[in-house]
Chains A and B, each alone.
Chain A
Amino acid sequence: MPGKKVSLFVTCLVDQFYPEIGEATVKLLRHLEFEVDFPGEQTCCGQVALNGGYHSHAVAVARRFVEVFRDSEVIVAPSGSCVTTVFTHYPELLRESPELKDEVESLRNRTFELSQYLVDVMGVENIGSTLPQPTRVAYHDCCHALRDLGVARQPRQLLQAVDGLELVEMTDSTNCCGFGGTFSVKYPEISMAILNEKLGHVESSGADVLTAVDASCLMHMGGAMRRQSMKARPMHIAELLASGLPGGMNA
């Protein structure tokens, strides 16, 4: 894929809380000889407002996103959830802007979650990563990636191809972790009841690393794993894949 140009949408959460995931994504893409571009005007896709019922704010932020990525050929994000906002919700959010209809349609079809892009669009089977030590990894299916984008096989394929990585399937990997954006803060007790069931499955899978395509779900699960001093540690798939590339995590 030499010279193939990709615009990175790093997402607001990764930008502010997990910039290393952004760095890992860039490293991965460059390793595969993509030319990475980072439109500096980007901030957020608007999911926060959409999720909370602040439709008018979500519309404004979505319009902005369309402008920022207007000239990008392909947009790749280390998140299934933010891509879902564009893919599933932008057509409806921007319904009142008929002049953007064609542009939104085109945008939603060239915006991809990282593993989805690599496997489905570019046909990558093996990124050539070798982990420094044998690691058992459980993959959690993030809801939006799974149900809106059909991302399930793609990340598993990339993970399985990593040397030194043993992919284990945990029970009910497709069950929600109980995050749900504002839900986790508004209904913490319900959110935790759902999460604790999930963590039980993580534990019994015997995994050293819990990975997923969304930093938000990992922030949620990881926050409780840390509080409960669990053995497994959360790691975004981009970081996990990049950690086995030459030069380790230092791009």
Chain B
Amino acid sequence: MPSIRTKEFTPRASEAINNPTIQKSLDRLANFRQGRTDSIEEFGQERWDEHTKRAKEIKQETLGHLDHYLDMLSTNVERAGGKVFFAHDTQEANEYVAGVARANSVKTVIKSKSMVSEEMGVADYLEGMDIEPVETDLGEYIIQLAKEAPYHIIAPALHKSKEEVSELFQRVLGTPAESDITALAGIARKVLREKFLQADMGMTGANFGVAEAGTIVMVTNEGNGRMSSSLPRVHVATMGMERVIPRLSDLATFLPLLTRSATGQRITSYVAFATGPKRRNEEDGPEEFHLVILDNGRSKMLADPQLREALYCIRCGACLNACPVYSKVGGHAYGWVYPGPIGAVVTPSILGIPIAKDLPFASTLCGACKEVCPLDIDIPRMLLKLRSDATEGPAGTRKPDRIESMMMRGWRMIVSSPRMFGLAGKVASILQWPLSRNKFMRRLPPPLSGWTKSRDFPTVSAKPFHARWSAMALPSEKGDKDGK
């Protein structure tokens, strides 16, 4: 597995906020947002909503009978001459991939972009076996050279300026300084062409695994998915077990949802289909095809009715673009493979809340993620569920804050009667006296000090509404239940 730095959320968020280059890169998320908005407008909101509804139904149906559809997928991949491996965790998945590489004396592996392969950390694993893994998506290639994790689900090098990329290429590839983006892409293209021709094995992800056809579908803009799956002798595809869809015709529902939500494109430059290795009468294509289907905590999410919906995710990244928090702290703060709102659900679900506790709390619950999600996944509701697991869940998932827990018990007592509520207000209005000036406080002790560092805090009113009501109430409105 890749390194887990979820516990460094706050310092890494701070680093991003205080880095002007990163903030400038994050401003580019506006292009994704605009692209999505325009694209849906063109598509028609009503039609879009129908697609969302249909996609949800398909996901419900598929996840409700996941064993059936995975079995169908697996049978049909094997019928087409491929091999299927179900990996319980990333260790098993990596060992299988390594076994295939070893059996084929593989020296170089070309990879197209895949979040599941990031989850596996397969590139590091292969490197440890003296096999050279080469990322072929331009963004992934850049972060591979920089030895970093992807910053965004669909734009892994979003945070890098062209100057930084030029510098990186100079340092690692020894190429001359270049300020033109097309020229920079040209440099990568030249290096990668060689690698494509050299590689003995290609690894890809799978945006969809079509059960009835035994086909995996790869959505890319650079064509590297098609190259990685067709040029080398061996093709290994990895997919999360939730990515299966029943029918080829379901792609008509999912593809527009994916590409329009992600980049605003009607369709990506390439949508590649791979069904098994090459046939006897075919000249091109791999001799071997392997499909690794990864569980790695997904069964656990499937079994939890409150988290299951997170498995509907098609990894379009729209929730990242819409999120006010992601838009400031960027991808690395989240500390693992999946950043942003969906990452804040998936990461603690897979790794456990105690080591990723910040993530479900580091959200304003504004709901922008749910609003843009093409599957209408209720991310805020799941974040609330994870918060409640963190404070009150069963031992093992729980990681309560003791002082806060005490304060909340006190709060519950206060709001359990208007008498207590009024009394608490009175006490506060006395205690605040030394700190207040003109009905505001500029400095408060922890935990409110975080607020007053840059915001004034209002004082509690000397005469709360309960007390004012009796003076306001008209005789006709004074009933038994009025405030006293």
Residue from the list A48, A143, A193 in contact with B328, Cβ < 8 A = A193
Asked whether B3 is an interface residue with its Cβ less than 8 Å from the other chain, the reply is: no
Residues of B within 8 A of A195 (CB): 455
Residues of B within 8 A of A175 (CB): 324, 368
Q: In the complex, what distance in Å separates the CA atom of A94 from the CA atom of B371?
A: 25
Closest to B457 in A: A223
Is B468 in contact with A190, judged by CB distance below 8 angstroms?
no
Is A22 in contact with B468, judged by CB distance below 8 angstroms?
yes
Q: In the complex, what distance in Å separates the CA atom of A223 from the CA atom of B454?
A: 8
Is B465 in contact with A19, judged by CB distance below 8 angstroms?
yes
Interface residue total, chain A, C-beta cutoff 8 A: 68
A56 to chain B, nearest CB (A): 6
Is A23 in contact with B472, judged by CB distance below 8 angstroms?
yes
Residues of A within 8 A of B468 (CB): 19, 22-23
Is B458 in contact with A219, judged by CB distance below 8 angstroms?
yes
Asked whether A176 is an interface residue with its Cβ less than 8 Å from the other chain, the reply is: yes
With A185-B451, A227-B456 already in contact, the answer to whether A52 and B408 are too (CB < 8 A) is yes
Is B458 in contact with A17, judged by CB distance below 8 angstroms?
yes
Is A53 in contact with B364, judged by CB distance below 8 angstroms?
no
Residue from the list A54, A180, A185, A219 in contact with B388, Cβ < 8 A = A54
Residues of B within 8 A of A26 (CB): 472
Asked whether B279 is an interface residue with its Cβ less than 8 Å from the other chain, the reply is: no
Is A53 in contact with B460, judged by CB distance below 8 angstroms?
no
Closest to B33 in A: A172
Closest to B364 in A: A180
Is B328 in contact with A38, judged by CB distance below 8 angstroms?
no
Q: In the complex, what distance in Å separates the CA atom of A144 from the CA atom of B428?
A: 28
Q: In the complex, what distance in Å separates the CA atom of A35 from the CA atom of B476?
A: 8
Q: Which of these binds chain A: B158-166, B267-275, B409-417?
A: B409-417
Asked whether B99 is an interface residue with its Cβ less than 8 Å from the other chain, the reply is: no
Residues of A within 8 A of B408 (CB): 49, 52, 54, 57
Q: B421-436 interface mask toward A, CB cutoff 8 Å, 1 = contact, 0 = none?
A: 1000100100000000
Is A53 in contact with B412, judged by CB distance below 8 angstroms?
no
With A23-B472, A183-B363, A190-B362 already in contact, the answer to whether A53 and B455 are too (CB < 8 A) is no
Q: In the complex, what distance in Å separates the CA atom of A184 from the CA atom of B481?
A: 35
A77 to chain B, nearest CB (A): 12
Is B364 in contact with A43, judged by CB distance below 8 angstroms?
no
Q: In the complex, what distance in Å separates the CA atom of A78 from the CA atom of B407?
A: 26
Chain B residues numbered 369-391 whose CB sits less than 8 Å from any CB in chain A? 370-371, 381, 384, 386-391
Residues of A within 8 A of B473 (CB): 38
Q: In the complex, what distance in Å separates the CA atom of A99 from the CA atom of B100?
A: 58
With A15-B464, A147-B370 already in contact, the answer to whether A188 and B450 are too (CB < 8 A) is yes
Q: B10-54 interface mask toward A, CB cutoff 8 Å, 1 = contact, 0 = none?
A: 100110010000000000000000000000000000000000000
Q: In the complex, what distance in Å separates the CA atom of A20 from the CA atom of B367?
A: 29
Q: B389-401 interface mask toward A, CB cutoff 8 Å, 1 = contact, 0 = none?
A: 1111000000000
Residues of B within 8 A of A23 (CB): 465, 468, 472
With A16-B425, A23-B465 already in contact, the answer to whether A56 and B460 are too (CB < 8 A) is no
Is B483 in contact with A40, judged by CB distance below 8 angstroms?
yes
Residues of A within 8 A of B425 (CB): 15-16
Is B361 in contact with A189, judged by CB distance below 8 angstroms?
no
Asked whether A1 is an interface residue with its Cβ less than 8 Å from the other chain, the reply is: no
Asked whether A249 is an interface residue with its Cβ less than 8 Å from the other chain, the reply is: no
Q: In the complex, what distance in Å separates the CA atom of A78 from the CA atom of B327?
A: 30
Is B481 in contact with A40, judged by CB distance below 8 angstroms?
yes
Is A37 in contact with B479, judged by CB distance below 8 angstroms?
yes
Q: In the complex, what distance in Å separates the CA atom of A40 from the CA atom of B418?
A: 7
Asked whether A12 is an interface residue with its Cβ less than 8 Å from the other chain, the reply is: yes
B459 to chain A, nearest CB (A): 8
Is B457 in contact with A16, judged by CB distance below 8 angstroms?
no
Asked whether B482 is an interface residue with its Cβ less than 8 Å from the other chain, the reply is: yes
Residues of B within 8 A of A181 (CB): 365
Asked whether B463 is an interface residue with its Cβ less than 8 Å from the other chain, the reply is: yes
Closest to B13 in A: A190
Asked whether B448 is an interface residue with its Cβ less than 8 Å from the other chain, the reply is: yes
Closest to A188 in B: B450
Is B362 in contact with A39, judged by CB distance below 8 angstroms?
no
Is B448 in contact with A60, judged by CB distance below 8 angstroms?
no
Asked whether B484 is an interface residue with its Cβ less than 8 Å from the other chain, the reply is: yes
Residues of A within 8 A of B361 (CB): 53, 182-183, 186-187
With A19-B464, A26-B472, A40-B482 already in contact, the answer to whether A192 and B454 are too (CB < 8 A) is yes
Q: In the complex, what distance in Å separates the CA atom of A3 from the CA atom of B391?
A: 46
Is A36 in contact with B477, judged by CB distance below 8 angstroms?
yes
Residues of B within 8 A of A219 (CB): 457-458
Residues of A within 8 A of B405 (CB): 54
Closest to B357 in A: A53
With A19-B463, A41-B418, A179-B364 already in contact, the answer to whether A190 and B483 are too (CB < 8 A) is no
Q: A47-69 interface mask toward B, CB cutoff 8 Å, 1 = contact, 0 = none?
A: 01111111111001100100000
Residues of A within 8 A of B442 (CB): 227
B482 to chain A, nearest CB (A): 5
Residues of B within 8 A of A192 (CB): 454-455
Asked whether B453 is an interface residue with its Cβ less than 8 Å from the other chain, the reply is: yes
Is A53 in contact with B387, judged by CB distance below 8 angstroms?
yes
Asked whether A207 is an interface residue with its Cβ less than 8 Å from the other chain, the reply is: no
Is B451 in contact with A35, judged by CB distance below 8 angstroms?
no
Is A147 in contact with B367, judged by CB distance below 8 angstroms?
yes
Is A41 in contact with B481, judged by CB distance below 8 angstroms?
yes
Is B391 in contact with A60, judged by CB distance below 8 angstroms?
no
| Interface hub of B327, B381, B461 (most chain A Cβ within 10 A) | B461
| Interface hub of B363, B414, B464 (most chain A Cβ within 10 A) | B464
Is A64 in contact with B416, judged by CB distance below 8 angstroms?
yes
Is A49 in contact with B412, judged by CB distance below 8 angstroms?
yes
8 contacting pairs across A/B (C-beta < 8 A): A18-B461, A19-B464, A22-B469, A35-B476, A49-B411, A49-B412, A175-B324, A188-B451
Closest 3 CB pairs of A and B: A180-B364, A53-B387, A40-B483
Q: Which residues of B contact A (CB under 8 A)?
A: 10, 13-14, 17, 324-325, 327-329, 361-368, 370-371, 381, 384, 386-392, 404-405, 408-409, 411-412, 414-418, 421, 425, 428, 440, 442, 447-448, 450-451, 453-461, 463-466, 468-469, 472-473, 476-477, 479, 481-484
Known contacts A12-B421, A54-B408, A194-B324, then 4 further A-B pairs from the complex at CB < 8 Å, ordered by chain A residue:
A44-B421, A143-B365, A190-B325, A194-B325
